[in-house]
């Protein structure tokens, strides 16, 4: 198949050559990092100047860099180039605390755009496509990150930004949008707006692909979106500290996301002990940038939990794949001694057709006892229907959740559109236990 790869040579580099390339770039990165106040001090403290790091194993003698380090060094402590060389600032969304600042030189931005283009091309986006980016533009990386990536690929790119659902739909119709990038929780919501407008995205748009990411979502959510919109949906993963989108992405096999090993060195560790876990076992993803100039990061702990699949991919790319992100280590909550990830609840709910497009998990403490309430929006026709059927559905959902998470939640069925919705990433858990 001609034209299957964005950069054939890099995409299909033999694992051994890929490792060699990684090591060359790592050495360059370490030297570059030594120019920043934070890393020069760290190398001195650990008596490990870049020259002494002779293998990827040596690298493990350096401590991890954490989000707290980024916060402590805010704003310029990680900067490895003179201020006049930086041309852009981005910031994480601040989902889990104070935001952090990430700087880029022009070369960094070019590299990033190329990575996003490589991801989009891999999924199947081509320059003939009309690409609508429904991400927030601004400090959030999903906007400009995809904008420049899609332009690099050569597709007509509509920077529609987030929100304003009716206008999104009009743009899709007016310009025959074929590919969208969208946060999954927003895509679920947007479908309802199509319905309200008396439209069916399957018939009334030219959509063929959906790139979904920026927040944890289950396979069941993907399948729902594919059915609702009549598209193929591809998982897109990234984090601001590693540029943003473009870190890992699904190929047409849709079985794990390739991460670009010429750009990032990935380790998987046990979040409790910090020790490496073998390929195939779940752990926290730790990243070292291999091509960054303004702000190299070494052994950065992402808190994101996933599994690395070492097996070669039938698509022919040699870069390894990671599983869907299970969530951040701090997304997990404990209820009655049981560890629960919101993703488990997403999977269960999205597999039940009567369930609508939004839900909320509330954790409360009453008389020293914790309980979990799951508020679930149901499809309008069920909500208006017979009370007996509604109660049957409530029991069915309770039982499905109980068998997945092993505790019995209190399930409340609520009217469509009655739960709060955020503009950006969905807030799925409200923990009132400490209040
Ligand atoms: P914040 O950390 O404040 O949310 P970012 O915008 O940098 O700011 O978000 C990156 C994080 O979003 C990742 O570390 C990960 O937890 C989550 N994320 C991004 N893409 C995905 C995805 N496809 N699946 C699951 N989680 C994702
Ligand atoms: Zn593949």
Q: In this structure, are 374 and 293 located in the same domain?
A: no
What is the pTM (predicted TM-score) of this model? 0.96
Residues 351 and 382 in one domain: yes
Q: Which atom of ligand 1 is nearest to the CA of 241?
A: 7
Task: For the chain, 435 residues long, give each residue's pLDDT as a single digit of tens.
Answer: 447 999 999 999 999 999 999 999 999 999 999 999 999 999 999 999 999 998 888 999 999 999 999 999 999 999 999 999 999 999 876 777 777 899 999 999 999 999 999 999 999 999 999 999 999 999 999 999 999 999 999 999 999 999 999 999 999 999 999 999 999 999 999 999 999 999 999 999 999 999 999 999 999 999 999 999 999 999 999 999 999 999 999 999 999 999 999 999 999 999 999 999 998 999 999 999 999 999 999 999 999 999 999 999 999 999 999 999 999 998 999 999 999 999 999 999 999 999 999 999 999 998 889 999 999 999 998 888 899 999 999 999 999 999 999 999 999 999 999 999 988 899 999 999 977
Domain identity same for 9 and 156: yes
CB atoms within 10 A of CB 205: 20
Cα–Cα distance, 287 to 264 (Å, whole number): 6
Domain that holds residue 186: 1-329
Give the torsion sign (CA, 175, 176, 181, 184).
positive
Residues 325 and 350 in one domain: no
Can you tell me which atom of ligand 1 is nearest the CA of 94? Answer: 3
The answer to whether residues 142 and 245 touch, using CB atoms and an 8 Å cutoff, is: yes
Cα–Cα distance between 321 and 9 in angstroms, integer?
A: 18
Query: Is residue 296 domain-shared with residue 350, that is, in the same domain?
Result: no
Q: Ligand 1: distance of its center to the CA of 214 in Å? A: 5
Q: What is the DSSP letter of 272?
A: T
Ligand 1 pocket (Cβ < 6 Å) reads 92-96, 140-141, 213-216, 235-240, 302, 304, 325, 328
Q: What is the DSSP letter of 313?
A: P
- Please report the pLDDT score of residue 93 as a whole number: 66
Domain boundary (288, 305, 329) is at 329
Cα–Cα distance measured from residue 60 to residue 71, given in angstroms and rounded to the nearest whole number: 23
Taking the centre of ligand 1 as the mean of its atom positions, its distance from the CA of residue 386, in whole angstroms, is 40
Instruction: For residue 29, report the distance from its CA to the centre of ligand 2, in Å.
Output: 27
Name the domain count of the chain.
Answer: 2
Of 300, 329, 358, the residue at which a domain comes to its end is 329
Q: Assess whether 338 and 260 both reside in one domain.
A: no
Ligand number nearest CA of 342 is 1
Q: Decide which of 297, 329, 361 is a domain's last residue.
A: 329
Same domain for 356 and 210: no
In the prediction, which pLDDT does 57 show? 87
Residue nearest to atom 13 of ligand 1 (CA): 239
Q: Domain with 340 in it: what CATH number?
A: 3.30.300.30
State the DSSP H helix or E strand holding residue 304, giving kind and residue range, or none if neither. Answer: strand 300-309
Q: What tokens appear for 58 in the block?
A: 């040596």
Residues 321 and 340 in one domain: no
* β-sheet bridge partners, residue 430: 362
**Ligand nearest to the backbone CA of 135:** 1
Which residues are placed with Cβ below 5 angstroms of ligand 2, an ion?
251, 253, 313, 315, 317
Q: Report the separation in Å between the CA atom of 237 and the middle of ligand 1, taken as the mean of its atom positions.
A: 7
> 93, 121 in Cβ contact below 8 A?
no
Same domain flag for 248 and 384: no
Say if residue 112 is in the same domain as residue 38: yes
The CA distance from 92 to 68, in Å, is 13
Looking at the DSSP bridge assignments, the partners of residue 130 are 156
Q: What order do you get walking across the sheet with 369-378 strand by strand?
A: 410-414, 369-378, 355-366, 429-431
Query: What separation in Å is there between the alpha carbon of 24 and the centre of ligand 2?
Result: 25
Q: Which of 66, 71, 95, 297 maximizes ligand 1 atoms within 8 Å of its Cβ, making it the mutation to test the pocket? A: 95
Report which protein residue has its CA nearest ligand 1's atom 19.
214
For residues 206 and 352, state if they share a domain. Answer: no
Residues in the chain: 435
CATH of the domain at 95: 3.40.50.12780
172 and 135 inside one domain: yes
Q: How many CB atoms lie within 10 A of CB 14?
A: 9
Which ligand lies nearest to the CA atom of residue 314 in the structure? 2
Which residue's alpha carbon is at the smallest distance from atom 24 of ligand 1? 216
């Amino acid at each position: 198949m001609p034209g299957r790869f964005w950069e054939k040579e890099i995409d299909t580099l033999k694992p051994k050559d890929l490792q060699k390339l990684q090591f060359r770039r790592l050495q360059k990165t370490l030297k570059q990092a030594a120019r920043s106040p934070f890393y020069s001090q760290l190398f001195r403290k650990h008596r490990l100047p870049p020259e002494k790091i002779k293998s990827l194993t040596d690298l493990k003698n350096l401590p991890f860099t954490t989000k707290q380090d980024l916060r402590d060094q805010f704003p310029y402590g990680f900067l490895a180039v003179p201020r006049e060389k930086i041309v852009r600032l981005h910031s994480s969304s601040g989902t889990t605390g104070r935001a952090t600042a990430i700087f880029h030189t022009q070369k960094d931005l070019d590299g990033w755009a190329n990575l996003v283009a490589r991801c989009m091309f891999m999924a199947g986006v081509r320059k003939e496509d009309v690409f609508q980016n429904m991400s927030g533009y601004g400090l959030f990386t999903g906007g400009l990150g995809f904008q420049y990536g899609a332009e690099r690929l050569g597709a007509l790119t509509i920077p529609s930004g987030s929100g304003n659902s009716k206008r999104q739909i009009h743009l899709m119709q007016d310009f025959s949008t074929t590919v969208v990038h969208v946060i999954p929780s927003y895509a679920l919501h947007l479908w309802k707006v199509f319905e309200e407008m008396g439209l069916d995205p399957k018939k009334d748009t030219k959509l063929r692909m959906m790139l979904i990411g920026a927040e944890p979502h289950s396979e069941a959510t993907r399948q729902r979106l594919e059915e609702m919109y009549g598209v193929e949906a591809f998982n897109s993963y990234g984090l601001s500290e590693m540029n943003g989108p473009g870190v890992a992405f699904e190929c047409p096999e849709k079985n794990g996301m390739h991460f670009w090993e010429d750009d990032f060195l990935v380790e998987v560790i046990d979040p409790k002990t910090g020790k490496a876990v073998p390929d195939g076992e779940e752990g926290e993803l730790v990243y070292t940038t291999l091509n960054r100039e303004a702000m190299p990061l070494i052994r950065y702990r992402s808190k994101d939990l996933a599994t690395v699949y070492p097996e070669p991919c039938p698509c022919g790319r040699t870069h390894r794949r990671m599983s869907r992100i299970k969530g951040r280590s701090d997304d997990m909550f404990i209820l009655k001694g049981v560890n629960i990830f919101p993703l488990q609840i997403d999977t269960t709910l999205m597999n039940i057709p009567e369930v609508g497009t939004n839900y909320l998990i509330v954790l409360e403490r009453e008389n020293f006892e914790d309980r979990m309430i799951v508020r679930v929006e149901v499809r309008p026709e069920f909500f208006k229907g017979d009370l007996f059927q509604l109660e049957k559905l409530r029991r069915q959902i309770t039982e499905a959740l109980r068998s997945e998470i092993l505790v019995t939640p209190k399930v409340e069925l609520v009217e469509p559109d009655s739960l709060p919705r955020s503009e950006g990433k969905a807030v799925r858990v409200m923990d009132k236990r400490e209040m």
